[in-house]
Amino acid sequence: MSQWTLGIIGGSGLYQLDGLANVRRERIETPWGEASDLLTFGELHGVPLVFLPRHGQGHRLPPAAIPFRANIAALKQAGCTDILSISACGSLREELPPGHFVMVDQYVDRTEGRERSFFGPGCVAHVPMAKPVCSRLSRLAAEAGEAAGIALTPRGTYLAMEGPQFSTRAESELYRQWGMDVIGMTNMPEARLAREAELPYASIAMVTDYDCWREHTHSVDAALVLEVMRSNTVKVRQLLDRLVLAMSEQARMPGPDGIETVLDTAIITPPSARDPEMVRRLAAIAGRVLG
């Protein structure tokens, strides 16, 4: 029976997981440097988990300084089969109030200057991103949230902004006109890199505020975000408990979206033209296809 190993990337307010068995912490070196922090290994309901705080303990790293490539590579090297991203976000919809959860299924990426790919000169790959999240993991997480009594929307589009400042009101209104549902600073290029590493990825966006488009309410600020995050963190731990319990009761089979084999048709540089040094680095995340 195949075994799940769930990687969990914790966002603002979620810097550790309690209640794990057989806990150990380890630093994993990757060809792209060190991850945001030590990885915490443990078990819940018999399922191996690997936890990584995206911003580091103490929230040391702003969004643009997060070592996204190292984070995904470290989780891949740690043996994760799937990644669940947990992050705070602002709402761009009246029907998504603070405290509400959204299972992201689409992205619009407005980040700037971040390294978006493991591949590059010497070995080129183009992975499909039409469906940027894993439908199975998203469904399991949504079912777990609903079972825990959490107000949750099973689909939504996430606008990834550069930050670290929050939006202007004009920007917030523009994103609403575009049809965006929530806004955050960290899911991109994280989701892109997980796809290149052939890791099924799902994202729980926890609403902390209404961004700044509601003129009659207080505009978003860090203090408001942290206040709501405290209650959201309690909810997400309840969701995780039910999610992992569901995983413990079923074998892990290859997912329905073909994510685990996406590199079979994505690498277009023939072996004879590949840069050996690039191939050596890529072995950490693409060794299955590069040999």
User: Which residues are designated catalytic?
Assistant: 209, 211
* 36/52 Cα distance (integer angstroms): 7
Are 237 and 120 within 8 A, CB to CB? no
Between the alpha carbon of residue 3 and those of residues 8, 216, 253, 254, 289, the distances in Å are 16, 50, 9, 11, 21
Cis before residue 164, ω within 30 degrees of 0?
A: yes
* 282 CA to centre of own chain: 21
* 31/281 Cα distance (integer angstroms): 6
Residue appearing with tokens 């892990």? 252
Are 2 and 48 within 8 A, CB to CB? no
Are 128 and 76 within 8 A, CB to CB? no
Structure token pair of residue 265? 């048709």
* 245/134 Cα distance (integer angstroms): 19
